[in-house]
Amino acid sequence: MENRRILFSRALRGPSAGFVRNFAVDASSAAQEFIIEPSAAVKLEVHRLIFNIEDDGIMRVDRFAALATALGVGLQIQKKDGNGVLGDYTDAAPIKSNGDMAKIMYDVDVRTWGAGAGGEFLVGRMTFTRFGGPVRVDGDKGEYLALIVNDDLGTLVEATCFAQGTVRKGDGDFVTRIGI
């Protein structure tokens, strides 16, 4: 039987009831993780993350979204398991500004929607396969990929991050249906 490749595009989901995918939250008092985690016997190959951030002000390079300043702590992207961090994809330099996003991502762009000032939308693509290969996340080992928020992003209109890649089951067989 031929192995078939299954592609996925799934929003990272937060700790709230219903697994909220919008990371525009106030996490200034305690960090919140927005994750993608495969079930047992499933392995994900995450090829890229797509960031979509909407705000109702004007975005500048030295600020995060259209907030008045850069972030104090910043966003982190890490591969983790129950024992801790397995990989840090922001290289211990969290994303604190729109400029920081552009330093580690490809195709960061800001678009203005509607008439007048404000109403801007930032999109960025962090492609792991451009710097070595996909991030492999193993459900049997309890691994997950996390976007860690530890600042107040609660005034943003919306902020989402989608993981995209392929799904494998066992030691390399492609699956025929998604089980993540």
Q: What is the DSSP string of 48-103?
A: EEEEEEEESS---TTSSTTSSS--SS-BEEEEEETTEEEEETTTT--B-SHHHHHH
Q: Are 173 and 23 in contact (CB under 8 A)?
A: no
Q: Are 75 and 88 in contact (CB under 8 A)?
A: no
Q: How many CB atoms lie within 10 A of CB 150?
A: 19
Enter the pTM of the model: 0.88
Most confident listed range (19-28, 74-83, 111-120): 74-83
Greater model confidence, 97 or 176: 97
What is 6-173's CATH topology?
Jelly Rolls (2.60.120)
Confidence of residue 98 (pLDDT cuts 50, 70, 90): very high
Q: How many CB atoms lie within 10 A of CB 135?
A: 24
Q: Are 26 and 154 in contact (CB under 8 A)?
A: yes
Average pLDDT, the chain: 87
Q: Which amino acid appears at position 131 of this protein?
A: F
Residue ranges per domain, the chain? Answer: 6-173
What pairing do the DSSP bridges indicate for beta strands 106-112 and 120-127?
Answer: antiparallel
Answer yes or no: is pLDDT of 130 > 90: no
Cα dihedral value 53, 57, 63, 64, nearest 10: -20
Q: Which of 177, 146, 169, 130 is nearest to 42 (CA)?
A: 169
Answer yes or no: is pLDDT of 180 > 50: no
Element (H, E) at 104: helix 98-104
CA dist 33 and 13 (Å) reads 8
Confidence of residue 2 (pLDDT cuts 50, 70, 90): very low
Instruction: Work out the average pLDDT over 55-64.
Output: 93
